[in-house]
Amino acid sequence: MIYFDNSATTKPYPEVLESFLKVSSDYFGNPSSLHGLGVQSEKLLSAARKQVADLLQVNSSEIYFTSGGTEGNNLAIKGAAHSRMNRGKHIITTAIEHPSVEDACQSLMHAGFEISILPVNESGQIELSDLKDALREDTVLVSIMHVNNEVGSVQPIAEVGKVLSQYPNVLFHVDNVQGAGKVPLSLREAYVDICTYSGHKIHGLKGTGFLYVREGVRIDPLFHGGNQETKIRSGTENVAGIVALSKAFRISMNNQLLYHDKLEQIKKHLYKGLMEMQGVLVNSPEEGAPHILNFSVPLLKSEVLLHALESDGIIVSTTSACSSKKRAVSKTVDAMFHDQARSESVIRISTTYGNGLDEAKQVLAAIQKIVANLEKIMRVAK
């Protein structure tokens, strides 16, 4: 099997699974308990928090563990909005955000918030001039993803942060679920106030994640109860999952340093091969993230090509995993090209550090064969 669906989820590293099992077996105490087993769990929790903070070059007190990207984005957006609603009720986001950002913003409209949505160009990027035009005196939050989950476009986060640093009333939230461990981002240098991460996108476990919240920024909690995570995220901490997450993050960040060029080489090979293929339109920008490549075959429905590839042992996806079962058009490709046929026929390839160039060659050959065969069948059917 060739697994090219790593933006949907990644296979956990063996070391991650070993850590989870070890901590679950030997350090299962509640970290809030006063007895020795609880104290041991609390120490592991603190060590994991410090490791994550050190990798991001921030303070341990700025890391809050969550259950993943969806919770992180909801906590960031709703928590920031509600904490600042006495200062204003205007939020800015983009047309290509993950549903956990888009729907969280939409839900705030019921509480009287107004949402401005920035368009993207054919490279899947916003224009800074559009952001500047959208900013108002009552703007309290800007939420922009770092790496798009469908096409891999990379937003100019540092430039956005520089603009927003001139607006002290505005908090800057970044969804970095797809960028973590693949595309560098300095939270400090980009003036990011809040940033979302997910464990299972970086070879950790599902149900784990963390939120960076810059010191001095206040967000309201979504959950109320035991006041864990400095009252921002109540609920007994998943210590084994968190320890596994910190290990996955360390390995992924190290792999980013060691194998980025290899990942880029695979993408370039796929990009060139797809660009030369008759009947195929490449949707991802050439200068985008090194691990995501999106293309369309306008004559074919996405599901047909996906299942044909699967029968050859190749696993890819259509839109994002969170939207693929809805049979909806790709909203990102639609926002970039405004072409329904192109938006209805997307395939996403997403790689990781364990993939090789030989796999990319096999996938290209399979796509070429399948597209040619299916086009013949469709011509006969007409």
Which pLDDT score, from 0 to 100, does residue 227 have?
Answer: 92
The percentage of the chain sitting over the pLDDT mark of 90, rounded to a whole number, equals 92
Q: What is the pLDDT of residues 72-122, one digit of tens each?
A: 999 999 999 999 999 999 999 999 999 999 999 999 999 999 999 999 999
Q: What is the pLDDT of residues 161-201, one digit of tens each?
A: 999 999 999 999 999 999 999 999 999 999 999 999 999 99
Residue range 37-64: mean pLDDT, rounded: 98
Which pLDDT score, from 0 to 100, does residue 322 have?
Answer: 57
**SS3 for the chain, per residue?**
CEECECCCCCCCCHHHHHHHHHHHHHCCCCCCCCCHHHHHHHHHHHHHHHHHHHHHCCCHHHEEEECCHHHHHHHHHHHHHHHCCCCCCEEEEECCCCHHHHHHHHHHHCCCCEEEEECCCCCCCCCHHHHHHHCCCCEEEEEEECECCCCCCECCHHHHHHHHCCCCCCEEEEECCCCCCCCCCCCCCCCCCEEEEECCCCCCCCCCEEEEECCCCCCCCCCCCCCCCCCCCCCCCCHHHHHHHHHHHHHHHHHHHHHHHHHHHHHHHHHHHHHCCCCCEECCCCCCCCCEEEEECCCCCHHHHHHHHHHCCEECECCCCCCHHHCCCCHHHHHHHCCHHHHCCEEEEECCCCCCHHHHHHHHHHHHHHHHHHHHHHHHHC
Which pLDDT score, from 0 to 100, does residue 329 have?
Answer: 82
Which pLDDT score, from 0 to 100, does residue 301 have?
Answer: 86
Q: What is the pLDDT of residues 296-311, one digit of tens each?
A: 999 788 999 999 999 9
CA angle 51, 216, 117 (to 5 degrees): 95
**Fold classification of 2-7+259-375 (topology level):** Aspartate Aminotransferase, domain 1 (3.90.1150)
- In the predicted structure, residue 382 carries a pLDDT above the cut 80: no
Which pLDDT score, from 0 to 100, does residue 324 have?
Answer: 53
| CATH architecture designation of domain 14-251 | 3-Layer(aba) Sandwich (3.40)
Which pLDDT score, from 0 to 100, does residue 374 have?
Answer: 76
Average pLDDT across the chain, whole number: 95
Q: What is the pLDDT of residues 123-158, one digit of tens each?
A: 999 999 999 999 999 999 999 999 999 999 999 999
Which pLDDT score, from 0 to 100, does residue 376 have?
Answer: 72
- In the predicted structure, residue 381 carries a pLDDT above the cut 90: no
Q: Which positions are annotated as active-site residues?
A: 322
* Domain limits, the chain: 2-7+259-375, 14-251
Confidence of residue 274 (pLDDT cuts 50, 70, 90): very high
